[in-house]
Amino acid sequence: MNQITVAFPGLWDGEFTLNKVLFEFTMFGREFSIRWYAVLIVVGMILAGLYGAWRSKQEGIKLDDLLDMALFAIVFGIIGARLYYVLMTLGNGEYKSFYDVIAIWNGGLAIYGGIIAGALTIVVICRIKKINIFKAFDMAAPAVMIGQMLGRWGNFFNGEAYGYEVLAGSPLYFLRMGLIPNVESSFKMHYFHPTFLYESLWNLIGFIIINIFYKRKKFNGQIFYMYISWYGFGRMLIEGLRTDSLYIGPFRVSQVVGFLCFIIGTTMLVLNLLKARRARLAGADYDAAYPQFKTSLSTKKDETTTEKKQDEPPVSAPNIEPTDKTDEENDPDMMDTEIVIPPTENETDKNN
- 319-348 burial, b at 16+ Cβ within 10 Å, e below that, comes to eeeeeeeeeeeeeeeeeeeeeeeeeeeeee
Torsion angles phi and psi, residue 179, rounded to 5:
-145, 135
330 occurs within a structural domain:
no
Contact yes or no for 191/165 (Cβ under 8 A) = yes
What per-residue confidence (pLDDT) applies to 96?
87
- 335 pLDDT higher than 70: no
Domain count, the chain: 1
Q: How far apart are CA 239 and CA 262, in angstroms?
A: 14
205 occurs within a structural domain:
yes
What per-residue confidence (pLDDT) applies to 93?
79
319 occurs within a structural domain:
no
- 316 pLDDT higher than 70: no
Quickly state the pLDDT bin for 310 (edges 50, 70, 90): low
What per-residue confidence (pLDDT) applies to 127?
96
Q: Give the residue numbers spanning the domain of 179.
A: 3-61+131-289
- 248 pLDDT higher than 80: yes
200 occurs within a structural domain:
yes
36 occurs within a structural domain:
yes
Q: How far apart are CA 188 and CA 41, in angstroms?
A: 30
Quickly state the pLDDT bin for 61 (edges 50, 70, 90): very high
181 occurs within a structural domain:
yes
323 occurs within a structural domain:
no
Q: How far apart are CA 148 and CA 154, in angstroms?
A: 10
Stated pTM of the model: 0.78
Torsion angles phi and psi, residue 62, rounded to 5:
-65, 150
Q: How far apart are CA 7 and CA 166, in angstroms?
A: 14
304 occurs within a structural domain:
no
pLDDT, tens digit, for every residue of 259-300?
Answer: 999 999 999 999 999 998 888 888 644 444 445 544 444 445
